[in-house]
Structure 1
Amino acid sequence: MQLKHKIVALGILPLVLAIAVICALVISLNRQLGDQQAQLIEDSILASKRAELKNYVEMAQSLIAPLYADGHGDASAQQKVLEELRKLSFGLDGYFFVYDRNGRSLMHARQSDLVGKDLWNMTDPHGLPVIQALLNSAASGEGFQRYAWNKPSSGQVTDKLAYVVMLDHWGWMLGTGIYLEDVERATQQARDEVAEGIRTTMLAIAAVALVAVLFVFISGMTLNVSEHRLADKKLQRLTQRIVSLQEEERSRVSRELHDGISQVLVSIKFQFELASHVLEKGQDRGLGILREAIERLGEAIGEVRSLSHDLRSSLLDTLGLPAAIGQLAAEFEQRSGLVVSYSNDGCDCDLVDGAHVSLFRIVQEGLTNIERHAQAKSVSITLQGCEGAVRLTLVDDGIGFNVAQVEHRQAGIGLRNIRERVEHFGGRFVLTSVPGRSELDVLLPINPNPR
């Protein structure tokens, strides 16, 4: 994966993760609220149904009160009570039922086939012994019992809420019930509304997330394109600088060859031709001319050696960096007339490939800048090894300069190239300057894997 894609991914993934966590929290909280809302609706409906059932049973009790309270309790009175209760109904599935203490059905207005049967051990689909639970509720005075029972109008087993009381003089249990389909519908409707709300919320969050992700993606791609263009421009400028430096170096070498070596060689050629002409005539001064030509040839060889040394110090390869810098300091002192002091601790540390050349070029460039601009009288060069690094220091007593202005110049090799050399090897470069003292301090790391 390319770096720009990684950057975009790092921008999008935390956003997607945050949105996913928010969605999970919203879903969880909405479901909790939905369950609470459904429970409140169910409790409210059940409370009204309990009051309704209690009223129905009290109404039935008041209807049979004269027959129940006359004290006879004979079979005729009991039969009349059962007949009256059988006639009572409310709604399509609202009816009364009567059981004795042993669980035998005495009256059932909608399911006459149950009358006379012992239903003590009958259970609903949930495993609840219905008649036993109803008798226990009536005996305890609680009266209300929820269970599943066959609904007469539909023939399906449905949840039902019953209210029962004991007719203690006769040992009967009287009760009625209401089927709870409407409660289930109401609670299911509440849950459906919550689910719809969750879907709507999720769609809204998804839309916002999509817009945010697209915005992050587009912003990242725009930034990548911008950075890519900026990098291309920097690369173009760097390439142009390299080409310019190559041309400058070629021009310098060309001038050195043309103005120095070439002219000396032409002069030597003329002297050899002159000596040959004089010797052909038998004149003695031909030997003197040859000697002068040989001396000039030695000068030409020196020019070639000097030019070669400028391009690449031979001591750097043979004797190492400390000796090469020492020779460079001596030649600079002889050429410029400045007082140069050079010290090193004799440590030729094992640097990474190319670092020796870079330090040599840094000294070379620093001395050139001092000669051209510093107006100094003395220069101090120090090369020493320290823990894990090599330190190079150049100090002069010149007029000083503004470091910020010099480092921000766009043209020339100068200090900018020195900084680039140091940064290439992961080193440290510090430059300070005040009138009377300018210091260039370079620190390069030692090769972690010495040969």
Structure 2
Amino acid sequence: MQLKYKIVTLSVLPLIASVLIICVLVFAQSRKLEEEQARLVESSIMAAKKAELKNYLELALSLIAPLYQSGRDDEAARQDALRMLSRANFGLDGYFFVYDSHGKNLMHPRQANLVGRELIGMKDKNGLPVIQALLKSAKSGDGFQLYTWEKPSTGQVTDKLSYVVMLDRWGWMLGTGIYIDDVEVATSKSRQEVADGVLTTVLAIASVALIAVLVVFSGGLMLNFSEHRLADRKLSALNQRIVRLQEEERSRVSRELHDGISQQLVSIKFQFELAGLELEKGMPRGLENLKAGTARLGEAIGEIRRISHDLRPSLLDTLGLSPAILQLVRDFEQRTGIRTQFEQGLDDTQVGGEVAVTLYRIIQEALGNIERHSRASAAIISLSCSRGGVALRVEDNGVGFDPGLMERSQGIGLRNIRERVDHHRGTFTLSSSSGRTELQVGIPLDA
């Protein structure tokens, strides 16, 4: 995967993961809230229905109160009470029912087939013995009982909440009930409202996340485009600089060959031709000119070796870094007359080939700067181990300069040194004042 796609992926994936985690948490909390709200709705509705049932039953008791409180226990009074209760209805499915203490139905205005039957063992669809549960609830004083019963208006068996009381003197259980299928509708509606709210919230989160992803993606594309343009400009500048450096190096080698070796070889050619003519004529100076030409040929060969050594020191490949630097220092002293001390505190086996070439080129560039600009009389080159790396120090006693101005100039000497050090992820410092200039380089060996 390319770096730009890695960056976009690392930016988008955590955002998507966060949104997914948030959605999961929202769903989990919504389920909890949905159940809590459904229980709250159900409990509030049931509390209202219980209060409503108590009111209805109090109304029924007030209807038969004159008969019951009169002290009459005859059959006629009881039948009058049953007729009054059978006519007292409320709503579409609201009615009163009466059972004796043994579970026999005495009055049921909506299901006449039950009247006179012993129903003590009758069970609802959930296996609950309904009449036994109603009698137990009435005798315990609570009075409320939940069970399933056929709804008159629809003929469907549904949940019903009843409230019953005992009329002990007559041995009756008087009760009424409300079908609570509307509770299920209300709780389902409550759950649906919560689910709709959660869905709206999740869609909002997803929309925000999508917008954020698009913003991140667009920002990544714009950043990638700008970085591409910047990289293209840097690459173009680097290519131009490489071409310029190649041309400068070729020009330097060409000047040295033309102004040095070429002139010497032409002079040697003329001297050999003169020596040949003189030897043909038997003149005694012919042998001297031949010897002088041979000596100058040796100088030309030495110049060729110097140019070759500048391009690629053979000692660096054959004997190692220290001998190559020592030879470089000797040639520098002979050429410039500047006393140069080389302090070696490094084992060549510790330095790899690429690092050795880098150190050699840095020293070569530094000595070239000392020769051209410093007007120094002495220099010190120190090479040692330091914290798992190589430490190089080049110092001279020249006139000094302003390092800031030099780094902002168009010269390539210090820039080449810095780029070589940066290639190895090393450190580079330069300090200078009148009478002392010091260059320090640190290169880690594991880089």
Please give the TM-score of this superposition, normalised by the length of structure 2: 0.93
- 2:441 aligned partner: 442
- 1:275 aligned partner: 275
Q: Paired residues, what number?
A: 447
CA distance in 1, matches of 2:288, 2:375: 44
- 2:406 aligned partner: 406
- 1:263 aligned partner: 263
Tell me whether 293-302 or 111-120 shows the greater mean CA deviation. Answer: 111-120
Unaligned runs of 5+ in 2: none
Q: Which amino acid aligns with 1:435?
A: S
RMSD of aligned residue pairs (Cα, Å):
2.2
Deviation at 1:267, TM superposition (A): 1.4
Give SS of 2:348's match. Answer: coil
Give SS of 2:178's match. Answer: strand
Q: Given that residues 97 and 174 in structure 1 are in contact (C-alpha distance below 8 angstroms), is that contact kept between their aligned partners in structure 2?
A: yes
- 2:172 aligned partner: 172
Does 2:139 correspond to 1:139?
yes
CA distance in 1, matches of 2:252, 2:402: 28
Tell me whether 238-247 or 192-201 shows the greater mean CA deviation. Answer: 192-201
Q: Percent identity?
A: 60
Give SS of 1:381's match. Answer: strand
CA distance in 2, matches of 1:13, 1:248: 50
- 2:425 aligned partner: 426
Deviation at 1:31, TM superposition (A): 4.3
Q: Given that residues 133 and 145 in structure 1 are in contact (C-alpha distance below 8 angstroms), is that contact kept between their aligned partners in structure 2?
A: yes
Unaligned runs of 5+ in 1: none
Instruction: Quickly say closer, same or farther: Cα 1:314–1:63, change in 2 above 3 A.
Output: same
Instruction: Quickly say closer, same or farther: Cα 1:182–1:252, change in 2 above 3 A.
Output: same
Tell me whether 212-221 or 28-37 shows the greater mean CA deviation. Answer: 28-37
Tell me whether 34-43 or 101-110 shows the greater mean CA deviation. Answer: 34-43
Note the 1:125-136 alignment, pairs <5 A: 125-136=125-136
- 2:219 aligned partner: 219
Q: Given that residues 322 and 383 in structure 1 are in contact (C-alpha distance below 8 angstroms), is that contact kept between their aligned partners in structure 2?
A: no
- 2:97 aligned partner: 97
Give SS of 2:246's match. Answer: helix
Note the 1:41-60 alignment, pairs <5 A: 41-60=41-60
Note the 1:249-398 alignment, pairs <5 A: 249-345=249-345, 347-398=347-398
Instruction: Quickly say closer, same or farther: Cα 1:99–1:405, change in 2 above 3 A.
Output: farther
CA distance in 1, matches of 2:79, 2:352: 116
Tell me whether 377-386 or 343-352 shows the greater mean CA deviation. Answer: 343-352
Q: Given that residues 392 and 443 in structure 1 are in contact (C-alpha distance below 8 angstroms), is that contact kept between their aligned partners in structure 2?
A: yes
Q: Given that residues 149 and 158 in structure 1 are in contact (C-alpha distance below 8 angstroms), is that contact kept between their aligned partners in structure 2?
A: yes
Q: Which amino acid aligns with 2:291?
A: R
Deviation at 1:276, TM superposition (A): 2.1
- 1:66 aligned partner: 66
Note the 1:5-84 alignment, pairs <5 A: 5-84=5-84
CA distance in 1, matches of 2:79, 2:405: 120
- 2:155 aligned partner: 155
Q: Which amino acid aligns with 1:402?
A: D
Instruction: Quickly say closer, same or farther: Cα 1:81–1:416, change in 2 above 3 A.
Output: same
Instruction: Quickly say closer, same or farther: Cα 1:126–1:434, change in 2 above 3 A.
Output: farther
Instruction: Quickly say closer, same or farther: Cα 1:259–1:187, change in 2 above 3 A.
Output: same
Tell me whether 273-282 or 7-16 shows the greater mean CA deviation. Answer: 273-282
Q: Given that residues 394 and 440 in structure 1 are in contact (C-alpha distance below 8 angstroms), is that contact kept between their aligned partners in structure 2?
A: yes
Q: Give CA-to-partner distance per residue, 1:273-303, whole Å, 9 cap, x none.
A: 2222222233332212211211111111011
- 1:238 aligned partner: 238
Instruction: Quickly say closer, same or farther: Cα 1:203–1:386, change in 2 above 3 A.
Output: closer
Note the 1:184-195 alignment, pairs <5 A: 184-195=184-195
Q: Which amino acid aligns with 1:361?
A: R
Give SS of 2:15's match. Answer: helix
Q: Give CA-to-partner distance per residue, 1:93-141, whole Å, 9 cap, x none.
A: 1111122223332222222233333333433344433223222221122
Q: Which amino acid aligns with 1:290?
A: L
Deviation at 1:178, TM superposition (A): 0.9
Q: Give CA-to-partner distance per residue, 1:424-450, whole Å, 9 cap, x none.
A: 2232323233333222122223359xx
Instruction: Quickly say closer, same or farther: Cα 1:408–1:231, change in 2 above 3 A.
Output: farther
Q: Which amino acid aligns with 2:337?
A: G
Give SS of 2:401's match. Answer: coil
CA distance in 2, matches of 1:168, 1:408: 114
Instruction: Quickly say closer, same or farther: Cα 1:12–1:58, change in 2 above 3 A.
Output: same
Tell me whether 248-257 or 60-69 shows the greater mean CA deviation. Answer: 60-69
CA distance in 2, matches of 1:406, 1:60: 111
Deviation at 1:68, TM superposition (A): 2.6
Give SS of 1:162's match. Answer: strand
Q: Given that residues 349 and 390 in structure 1 are in contact (C-alpha distance below 8 angstroms), is that contact kept between their aligned partners in structure 2?
A: no
CA distance in 2, matches of 1:356, 1:183: 89
- 1:123 aligned partner: 123
CA distance in 1, matches of 2:324, 2:28: 76
